[in-house]
Chain A
Amino acid sequence: MDKTIASPAEAVAGIADRAVVMIGGFGGSGAPIELIHALIDRYVKTGSPKNLTVVNNNAGNGHVGLAALIEVGMVRKLICSFPRSADPRVFTEKYLAGEIELELVPQGTLAERIRAGGAGIPAFYTPTSYGTELAEGKPVAEFEGRPYVRERWLKADFALVKAHVADTHGNLTYNKAARNFNPLMCMAARTTIVQASRIVPPGGIDPEHVVTPGIFVSQVVEVPDPAQEEELNRAGAVYPEGTSP
């Protein structure tokens, strides 16, 4: 078994129009910038994939990564908890112009919906959002005298994930708080594509240290020294290069 793919471009080649794509990360931490940019390259060259539904905690920052994916017009709908950032202009302008749909989900509910999707649990009850606008239209039930809101699982066609070390079986470790949504999204997508700073042979990761077991991973592609969104933004980067923000 070897899940290694040679390049980010090959890894994202199978993502079709209208796909639901989970993208890992919390802000720039754990964001798979190179996979996102490879997807943008494909769109610029071929016009596809478009009309994507993207699941991420945020809505991008600046003009790189997720913000760039939105800016070039590939995203029809965003499912997220916090569509604000230091520089949220790309999403904000599209949203206020009615060019992108937003499904706002409380952060813990978003995480649990993704976990449930990966775990085969179609729905669950949570106290979160009870009595608020975000619970409107959702079934409510009482447990031990307290009201809870029913939420549904969230699944995806693809997940784009950033790991630290991967082995060729797809076992993963993460770097510090870059873990965040990534392990959950690995579980919830039909095809999970992982970029890792390093790919090692089986046995190269101590089984005690595996965070995401390889069963949840379809493909791994090595991206040494991955870009950090925050550093790109501080340098005023725009993707694709040569376009104006």
Chain B
Amino acid sequence: MNAIKSANYEDIKLSNAQIAWRAAQDIADGAYVNLGIGFPEMVARYQPPGREAIFHTENGILDFGEAPPAGEEDWDLINAGKKAVTLNPGAAFFHHADSFAMVRGGHLDVAILGAYQVAQNGDLANWSVGAKGVPAVGGAMDLVHGAKRVAVLTEHITRKGEPKLLERCTLPLTGVGCVTRIYTSLAVIDIENARFVLREKLPAISLEGLQSLTGAELVIDGLVTDLNVPEL
């Protein structure tokens, strides 16, 4: 990808908050949802009015809420990112084995994670950039198995301009064939029959432009609609 395209990408792409907003629109009323550490956590802020999702955190809470005001933290009440949280009415505590029974046992409706790379067959790489440094996996390898839907939120390309959606992941895998939908800074893409099927794209980018930023074929199978997200 050349410099001109790169600049153009920065101009039109959705912000992380906007990607999170778009993902939140697909969460049904009554869904049990796990949000990955970092930018996927923003999804909780954009629940459509009238819908109630219940958020799960690996360290043993269902139905936690916003962060408390500074100075009112209870450090026994944190989320998987070790941030202080509050409880909603109807919350529950449980130990780690029960927490991951919820994860692997198919009881979560949606898990939403970040990604380094996603392959067209649904392989996900999001825990290790290779041999350097200290490896850390946390709950990611568990979360990609068992949730009924595994969605990824990601920039469409890396900071260096390289595609993150690929025919095959080159980084160490988190899970095999596990991702079902990708919300990127440019598009919404489903993984069906080991292909990237384009569902929505920003009106500001052409199909050819989007394909040039994608490391595998984008399949058109049915209607491709405009990806419309409010300014946030």
Q: How far is the CA of A28 from the CA of B77 in the complex (A)?
A: 10
Query: B59 in the interface, Cβ–Cβ < 8 Å?
Result: yes
CB distance from B41 to the nearest CB of A (A): 16
Q: Which of B57, B134, B176 contacts A83 (CB 8 A)?
A: B134
Size category, A interface? 35 or more
CB distance from B175 to the nearest CB of A (A): 7
Q: Quick check: B142 and A107 within 8 Å, CB to CB? A: yes
Q: Quick check: B174 and A132 within 8 Å, CB to CB? A: yes
Contacts of A77 in B (CB 8 A): none
Binds A, one of B12-20, B89-97, B192-200, B209-217: B89-97
Query: A88 in the interface, Cβ–Cβ < 8 Å?
Result: yes
Which 9 residue pairs are nearest across A and B when measured between Cβ atoms? A108-B100, A108-B142, A131-B176, A111-B96, A127-B145, A178-B76, A106-B141, A107-B139, A115-B97
Using a CB-CB cutoff of 8 Å, which residues 99-142 of chain B contact chain A?
99-100, 103-104, 123, 128, 133-142
Q: Quick check: A129 and B96 within 8 Å, CB to CB? A: no
Q: How far is the CA of A134 from the CA of B144 in the complex (A)?
A: 15
Nearest chain B residue, comparing its CB with the CB of A118: B97
Q: How far is the CA of A109 from the CA of B60 in the complex (A)?
A: 15
Query: B155 in the interface, Cβ–Cβ < 8 Å?
Result: no
CB distance from A162 to the nearest CB of B (A): 9
Q: Quick check: A231 and B136 within 8 Å, CB to CB? A: no
Binds B, one of A2-10, A180-188, A198-206: A180-188
Q: Which of B59, B76, B82 contacts A86 (CB 8 A)?
A: B82
Q: Quick check: A184 and B96 within 8 Å, CB to CB? A: yes
A residues apposed to B, CB below 8 Å: 26-30, 57, 81-86, 88, 91-92, 95-96, 102, 104-112, 114-115, 126-134, 174-184, 211, 228-231
CB distance from B158 to the nearest CB of A (A): 21
Q: Quick check: A177 and B137 within 8 Å, CB to CB? A: no
B residues apposed to A, CB below 8 Å: 57-61, 73-78, 82, 93-97, 99-100, 103-104, 123, 128, 133-142, 145-146, 172-176
**Given contacts A132-B141, A177-B78, is CB(A96)–CB(B59) below 8 Å?**
no
Q: Quick check: B103 and A108 within 8 Å, CB to CB? A: yes
Q: Quick check: B60 and A128 within 8 Å, CB to CB? A: no
**Given contacts A126-B104, A177-B78, A228-B75, is CB(A112)–CB(B97) below 8 Å?**
yes
Contacts of A29 in B (CB 8 A): 59, 75-78, 82
Q: How far is the CA of A179 from the CA of B92 in the complex (A)?
A: 12
Contacts of B96 in A (CB 8 A): 26, 57, 107-108, 110-111, 180-181, 184
Q: Quick check: B60 and A179 within 8 Å, CB to CB? A: yes
Contacts of A180 in B (CB 8 A): 59-60, 95-96
**Given contacts A107-B142, A132-B172, is CB(A84)–CB(B82) below 8 Å?**
no
Q: How far is the CA of A30 from the CA of B103 in the complex (A)?
A: 22
**Given contacts A29-B78, A111-B96, A177-B76, is CB(A81)–CB(B176) below 8 Å?**
no
Q: How far is the CA of A116 from the CA of B228 in the complex (A)?
A: 48
Q: Quick check: B61 and A177 within 8 Å, CB to CB? A: yes
Q: Quick check: B82 and A27 within 8 Å, CB to CB? A: yes
Q: Quick check: B95 and A179 within 8 Å, CB to CB? A: yes
Known: A82-B136, A104-B137; 13 extra A-B contacts, CB below 8 A, are: A29-B59, A81-B139, A95-B134, A107-B137, A107-B138, A128-B145, A130-B175, A130-B176, A133-B128, A176-B74, A179-B93, A179-B95, A230-B75
Q: How far is the CA of A184 from the CA of B74 in the complex (A)?
A: 23
Q: How far is the CA of A83 from the CA of B127 in the complex (A)?
A: 12
CB distance from B184 to the nearest CB of A (A): 23
Q: How far is the CA of A57 from the CA of B128 in the complex (A)?
A: 17
Nearest chain B residue, comparing its CB with the CB of A130: B176
**Given contacts A130-B176, A228-B75, is CB(A184)–CB(B138) below 8 Å?**
no
Contacts of A106 in B (CB 8 A): 137-142
